[in-house]
A = this chain, B = another copy of it.
Amino acid sequence: MDDEVALDAEPDPTPGTVDLAALSQMTGYALRRAQMWLFRDLKARFKAHDISLAQFSVLYVVDINPGLAQARVAEALAIERARLVLMLDRLEERGLLVRSRSKADRRSHALHLTPAGRDLLSTLLDLQAEHEKRITTLLGRDGRADIIRLLAPFQD
Contacts and interface: CB of A to CB of B under 8 A. Distances in A.
B31 A151 contact: yes
A118 B3 contact: yes
Contacts of A8: 100
B135 A27 contact: yes
A interface secondary structure, majority: helix
Interface string A2-43: 011111101111110011110111111111111111110010
B23 A57 contact: yes
A60 to B, nearest CB: 6
Contacts of A105: 14
Contact of A28 (B39, B67, B73): B39
A72 interface: yes
Q: Which 3 A-B pairs have the closest CB atoms?
A: A18-B76, A34-B154, A37-B154
B28 A53 contact: yes
A21 B64 contact: yes
B67 A12 contact: yes
A20 B108 contact: no
A6 B139 contact: no
B18 A68 contact: yes
Contact of A38 (B27, B146, B148): B27
A58 to B, nearest CB: 11
18 contacts: A1-B118, A4-B100, A6-B66, A11-B67, A13-B103, A14-B69, A18-B68, A21-B60, A23-B57, A24-B155, A27-B38, A28-B35, A28-B42, A31-B147, A34-B151, A36-B78, A36-B156, A138-B154
